[in-house]
Structure 1
């Protein structure tokens, strides 16, 4: 009797399975996946627009701190900080896109040479790439499986960005100066330009290093509730 009941249950399960329209269920899953991806991309585009607006708005803050080599504009420190955190908020692809779009937006707002704005956009895209490489991929600051302690990883990552970020900016500035102005300055001037960019970038790097873990926690919470 017990075996008969079990056989009847198995037959009922088989009948129920046969009644399921597999193609229809797969179609529903595909539509749900497409809808989720669409919502995700829409949210990213909205965040990209917000970050671009914020970077443009803070760049209009004209408070300059005079230092030995160069003056540091507080507005531009905040702008570089906002662009640096973009890879945490919208990913590396959109983060680098924000850097490029910022160059275009600055050209539309302030004018100046199109080549200068284009090279500035490339510099910002490289800026985002360096933060992503050093903090996320190489030293894995946000991962539990990192090689060093979090504090040491933050310090090393910040130091390397402090070296290579200004170096890339000085190199791009050298190329722009040669192409557009026909000027090829010497090694001493290049080093001076590199040091000036180091002072210029230092405050944004320190601000990023102090806040990046908190920003990552907030971003992870957004991903959970999305």
Structure 2
């Protein structure tokens, strides 16, 4: 475990959502793979992805970036209107699926409730806000991270982007009125960690929902990206962070 440097000035926890606060990656890719394969077929591309293949290839990216990247790999350009139609379709299908299958997790809710007494909590994600809304509702995290503190690289920015672009972290800092040194990010994916680190934020690598067979490789990738602490349970983060009142600072 890598210990963070100084976190005493931190006022805000910036939390990635998918695969970090809830195990949404696997079920999301089950739904997304169907949309992705229909999208590729519509472009005349024969390549098809299983849910696991898509997850391993694109974790940390949103569908908009994934669609453009996969099409480009086959030398196909995607028109703006066509892309928007497929982004809307994937958003609808995946959001509805996650709303049905996700459940509250005491091992996440307990520590997050204690964090909320000490820090302001916000979500910083590449996913669409409608997807986040379904996930937070289904997992019982709605009250801890309300809609006004959810920031989406797909929907919150003037121009949609995706991690590892640090734009969404910089936007969240600006909206919350805090400097990078007053925040701690928690990320499970390499693009997510790269995004937070590039924004100058001390970043925790979280392996809680990473499949066991992928943890060693993910740990190494996150450490190389510059995370300052590695955890595999939310309780570990609760123990590592300073016990400070929310009003401090």
Fold similarity call, TM over 0.5: no
Task: Say which structure, 1 or 2, has more relative contact order (CA 8 Å, 6+ apart).
Answer: 2
In terms of Rg, which structure is larger?
1
TM-score by length of 1: 0.27
In proportion to residue count, which structure has more strand? 2
TM-score by length of 2: 0.25
